[in-house]
Amino acid sequence: PPSSICLRVAVLTVEAEETHHHLRRQIIIAVVLASIAGVMIVLAVLFACIAWRRYRGAPDDFKDTQSTDTQRIALVPILNRFNSFKATTKKGLVAMMEYASLEAATGNFSESNVLGVGGFGCVYKANFDGGFVAAVKRLGCEGQEYEKEFENELDLLQRIQHSNIVSLVGFCIHQENRFIVYELMVNGSLETQLHGPSHGSALSWHIRMKIALDTAR
């Protein structure tokens, strides 16, 4: 009868609508899940990139202390074989200087050439052939702390090249002795200027302000 046909058509329409609804809901869920997965993948890649850049940019000491220590210890006997020339290290080129030239330039490390004394050794003024003047630090030769200080200072100064930081000229290893050659600070160190015999009397407030700004840079 026509009424039962109408009823069947109505039931079929409702079923079709329900199926359509169900399908739409599934599509929406799939799209949302895919979007979340996509965002998570992008975030993971981003995080990995940042972590990698930080790892590469970090000083060696923060990466793998054990392996850098091993490298440093391994470096010394290799350097000992040379006496002059330039040593290419992972950070650049540093002059390996002959002991004889340091001895000659400092007048055999004479008292009259002493510029100052630090925690790890004495610093001498050195006049090299050709008029080149520098400062030579002779590190004490007892104990591992001197060896570590020598390696740390070389490592740091190779990496830090800045107009406000004294530059590294070279180094020398002679028997048990270790030497570091620096650019000469003709007016002495900042500490000497501030706390030396003059007690800073030579520094005007304008100069002090300039020093403070340069230090911050």
Ligand X SMILES: Nc1ncnc2c1ncn2[C@@H]1O[C@H](COP(=O)(O)OP(=O)(O)OP(=O)(O)O)[C@@H](O)[C@H]1O
| Feature table: binding site for ATP | 137
Q: Does 191 bind ligand X (CB under 6 A)?
A: yes
Query: In this structure, what token pair is assigned to residue 73?
Result: 């210890």
- For the bound state, the minimum distance from the C-beta of residue 116 to ligand X, rounded and expressed in Å, comes to 2
Instruction: Candidates 188, 190, 203, 211: give the one binding ligand X (CB under 6 A).
Output: 188
Rounded to the nearest 10 degrees, the angle between the axes of helix 65-80 and helix 144-159 is 100
Instruction: Candidates 119, 130, 143, 197: give the one binding ligand X (CB under 6 A).
Output: 119
| Residues in contact with ligand X, shown as a per-residue x/- string from 74 to 103 under the rule CB under 6 A | ------------------------------
186 vs 134: CA distance, rounded Å:
9
Assign 194 to helix, strand or coil.
helix
Quick check: 181 and 135 in contact, CB under 8 A? yes
Q: Does 135 bind ligand X (CB under 6 A)?
A: yes
Nearer to ligand X, 95 or 185 (CB): 185
Instruction: Candidates 185, 190, 203, 211: give the one binding ligand X (CB under 6 A).
Output: 185
128 vs 131: CA distance, rounded Å:
6
With CB under 6 A as the rule, give the number of residues binding ligand X. Answer: 18
- For the bound state, the minimum distance from the C-beta of residue 54 to ligand X, rounded and expressed in Å, comes to 29
Q: Does 127 bind ligand X (CB under 6 A)?
A: no
Q: Does 214 bind ligand X (CB under 6 A)?
A: no
37 vs 146: CA distance, rounded Å:
55
Q: Does 169 bind ligand X (CB under 6 A)?
A: no
Quick check: 94 and 86 in contact, CB under 8 A? yes
Instruction: Candidates 166, 190, 203, 211: give the one binding ligand X (CB under 6 A).
Output: 166
Burial code of 112-124, b = ≥16 C-beta within 10 A, e = fewer?
A: ebebeeeebbbbb
Burial environment of residue 168 by CB neighbours within 10 A (0 to 12, 13 to 18, 19 or more): buried
Quick check: 158 and 91 in contact, CB under 8 A? yes
Q: Does 115 bind ligand X (CB under 6 A)?
A: yes
Q: Does 189 bind ligand X (CB under 6 A)?
A: yes
- For the bound state, the minimum distance from the C-beta of residue 186 to ligand X, rounded and expressed in Å, comes to 7
122 vs 113: CA distance, rounded Å:
10
Residues that bind ligand X (CB under 6 A): 115-120, 123, 135, 137, 166, 182-185, 188-189, 191-192
